[in-house]
């Protein structure tokens, strides 16, 4: 029997996943830039070389440097004007790309920390788009541009990327230096609060009970578990039991009650019961146990 999915897989050859897909369609990249980047990756831009391939006869010259015919490769990677922008960007991010092309630039971000990576990727795709805009403005609007003017546009683009990115920086010298050069917001991570905790042993001839519970939902099917240790930390016994449909609080209380009952049935002298539920502990200390548990 051939399933529908099987027929589909037979009739349609699955293409390989493009290397740029996850680096283009992401939260830190504006959707408009992502769509434009898709056109760049597929060679769908109306550059002179692409128009000539369609049979359109024209005299080609790069309008940004006036030194060569216009091709996708030349316009974005070999043009002296574009190269100056890429070198400037590399200096800001403290990297150097020997063989400059779209793939080598984008994949260079894999070596960077999360927040800086987002800014770098945003600058690559957005910067390429700005080069294309500068080309169009020169051809169709007869607007001249300067390197300083384009650098200001690129800086604004990187600052906009900081608002789209939700990733965090590392508090290291490299990140701080790069972000200072870019003059962008710092995305600090949550500070880690380290607290010391000590697990104390019971006195001699006494037993300590550690209880816990779990429930799939609140309410939901739950269960309890208890561990019993002596003054040397040796495990004397364990208890695990299913409870059926319970709330988290009820399960915590039942863990304490049934944990004590199990210890009593074994003749163990209880030192204290330890639970991670503050509400359950307060209920027992104030003698305000839910009536349904008292009935049980």
Tell me whether residue 71 is in a domain: yes
Tell me whether residue 195 is in a domain: no
Same domain for 236 and 165: no
Tell me whether residue 77 is in a domain: yes
Same domain for 152 and 90: yes
Same domain for 220 and 163: no
Q: What is the CATH number of the domain that holds 278?
A: 3.30.420.10
User: Residue 175 sits in which domain range?
Assistant: 19-182
Same domain for 138 and 25: yes
Same domain for 223 and 105: no
Tell me whether residue 3 is in a domain: no
Tell me whether residue 200 is in a domain: no
Same domain for 154 and 262: no
Please identify, among 118, 148, 182, the residue that sits at the C-terminal boundary of a domain. 182
Please identify, among 147, 182, 217, the residue that sits at the C-terminal boundary of a domain. 182
Encode pLDDT of 164-187 as tens digits: 999 988 888 899 999 999 999 888
CA–CA gap between residue 80 and residue 88 (Å, rounded): 12
Same domain for 221 and 170: no
Tell me whether residue 291 is in a domain: yes
Tell me whether residue 12 is in a domain: no
* pLDDT tens, the chain, 296 aa long: 444 444 444 444 556 678 898 899 999 999 999 999 999 999 999 999 999 999 999 899 999 999 999 999 999 999 999 999 999 999 999 999 988 999 999 999 999 999 999 999 999 999 999 999 999 999 999 998 999 999 999 999 999 999 999 998 888 889 999 999 999 988 887 766 667 677 788 888 889 999 998 888 888 889 999 999 998 889 999 999 998 888 888 889 999 989 989 998 888 887 688 888 888 888 888 888 777 776 56
Provide long-range contacts, Cβ within 8 A and 24+ apart, for 19-27. Answer: 19/103, 19/107, 20/102, 20/103, 20/106, 23/106, 23/109, 23/121, 24/125, 26/118, 26/121, 27/164, 27/165, 27/166
According to DSSP, the β-strands at 220-229 and 270-275 are: unpaired
Domain count, the chain: 2
Q: Are 218 and 247 in contact (CB under 8 A)?
A: yes
Encode pLDDT of 142-155 as tens digits: 998 999 999 999 99
Same domain for 231 and 147: no
Q: Are 221 and 242 in contact (CB under 8 A)?
A: yes
Same domain for 114 and 37: yes
Same domain for 255 and 133: no
Q: What is the pTM of this model?
A: 0.63
CA–CA gap between residue 181 and residue 179 (Å, rounded): 5
What distances in angstroms separate CA 31 from CA 28, 37, 133, 185, 248, one per listed residue?
Answer: 9, 10, 17, 22, 43
Same domain for 132 and 239: no
Same domain for 291 and 252: yes
């Amino acid at each position: 029997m051939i399933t529908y999915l099987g027929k589909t897989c037979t009739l349609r050859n699955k293409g390989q996943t493009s290397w740029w897909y996850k680096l283009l369609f992401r939260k830190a990249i504006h959707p408009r830039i992502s769509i434009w980047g898709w056109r760049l990756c597929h060679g769908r831009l109306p550059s002179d070389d692409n128009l000539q391939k369609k049979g359109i006869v024209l005299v080609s010259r790069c309008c940004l440097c006036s030194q060569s015919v216009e091709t996708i490769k030349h316009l974005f990677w070999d043009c002296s004007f574009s190269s100056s922008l890429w070198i400037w960007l590399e200096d800001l991010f403290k990297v150097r790309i020997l063989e400059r092309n779209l793939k080598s630039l984008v994949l260079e971000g894999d070596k960077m920390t999360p927040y800086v990576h987002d800014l770098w990727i945003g600058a690559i795709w957005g910067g390429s788009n700005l080069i294309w805009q500068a080309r169009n403005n020169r051809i169709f609007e007869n607007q001249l541009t300067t390197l300083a003017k384009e650098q200001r546009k690129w800086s604004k683009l990187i600052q906009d990327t900081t608002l789209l990115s939700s990733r965090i920086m590392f508090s290291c010298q490299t990140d701080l230096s790069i972000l200072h050069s870019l003059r962008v917001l710092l995305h600090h991570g949550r500070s880690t609060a380290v607290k010391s905790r000590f697990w104390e042993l019971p006195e001699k001839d006494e037993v300590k009970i550690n209880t816990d519970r779990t429930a799939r939902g609140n309410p939901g099917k739950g269960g309890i578990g208890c561990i019993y240790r002596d003054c040397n930390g040796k495990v004397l016994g364990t208890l695990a039991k299913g409870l059926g449909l319970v709330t988290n609080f009820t399960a915590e209380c039942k863990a304490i009650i049934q944990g004590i009952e199990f210890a009593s049935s074994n003749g163990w002298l209880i030192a204290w019961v330890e639970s991670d539920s503050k509400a359950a502990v307060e209920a027992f200390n104030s003698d305000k146990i839910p009536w349904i548990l008292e009935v049980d």
